[in-house]
Structure 1
């Protein structure tokens, strides 16, 4: 079984068949998925061709599972660095460059040195060069206004934004559940 470690994750859907999260994508290890199946917490929606065996059982590994009980989305998302980046589409709010999270920082629009607080309404994603250039000045003093006014996002808007950043690996069986509300091509 150790040859399977880290392989064959299961996409986890809520009871309404929407992913619990898009970014990061809601995935469980195959071990956790099988455990949830045996505890009757999930329904198996789709399976991999790969099978696992024990002395008394053989089963296909689940590729898509749905929770039996609906888990409501949090009304207010946590104020985290990652969620600020996701709200701002991983884009510096001053120069407009889209960057990986490790190349972003955040900026206080009204600097802390001038009484600015660390809140959704005062923090934006920012690249290091823009952050250094702005320093502890107000936007009007340096001609740097955020592209979008910072505001607290809803949990739904963060979930929606996450759809634009697909993971590196998408199993074919997941596609119908990840982009089910996308416009389909007409042929």
Structure 2
């Protein structure tokens, strides 16, 4: 049995202002979820994949490539997640400054948990395994280490700006480009 051409397609989700709902991570739905949202009139289909269709009992439908929410959704706070800490710190160890992939990074409690340090934006930084081991159960001062930048709670907008600048989004479909890089300088 051959796989349907739409099997691995995804749909970019835009806010009502036609900007990505999120950059960190990029707001993407499965095409099936997007298709259902279009059929239920919860979103507007902005673009469809060319030459890819799905059939129902009575008709053929386009597969949405880009959809937009009908009402603007404002994000008030950034979720405190491992990935967001890495994005905030630009995938750099906050002790040595080297850049790592998300799989290679760990995070460090600036004030260790054993010294009443808690897991919150102002006490967690991205860290390479070597520096995490070197720092151990000490404060940076006790370990003779210096933070490149004090940890802070980023706004959703700050995270999106960093993710966009670093181009964290992978596997971008060509039909999404007008919506992701609309303010980029044009080629001459």
- TM-score under structure 2 normalisation? 0.89
Cα offset, 1:128, TM superposition: 0.8
Contact 1:45–1:65 (CA under 8 A) maintained in structure 2 = yes
Query: Which structure 2 residues correspond to residues 3-22 of structure 1 after superposition, within 5 A?
Result: 3-4=4-5, 6-22=7-23
- Backbone CA RMSD of aligned residues: 1.9
Alignment of 1:31-180 (within 5 A): 31-49=32-50, 50-73=52-75, 75-163=76-164, 164-180=166-182
Cα deviation 1:85-126 (Å, max 9, x = unaligned): 111111110111211222111111122223322221111110
Gaps of 5+ in 1: none
Deviations 1:121-150 (A, max 9, x none): 111110110011111222223331111111
For residue 71 of structure 1, report the CA deviation from its aligned partner: 1.2
Structure 2: tracts of 5 or more residues without a match: none
Over 3 Å counting, the alpha-carbon distance change for 1:143 and 1:180 in structure 2 is farther
Contact 2:10–2:28 at 8 Å: present in 1 too? Answer: yes
* Count of residues in Structure 1 that have an aligned counterpart in Structure 2: 185
Please say which of residues 137-146 and 120-129 is displaced more in the overlay.
137-146
Contact 2:6 2:63 in 1 (8 A): no
Report the TM-score, using the length of structure 1 for normalisation.
0.90
Query: Residues of 2 paired with 1:56 and 1:87: CA distance?
Result: 49
Do the aligned partners of 1:6 and 1:29 also contact (CA within 8 Å) in 2? no
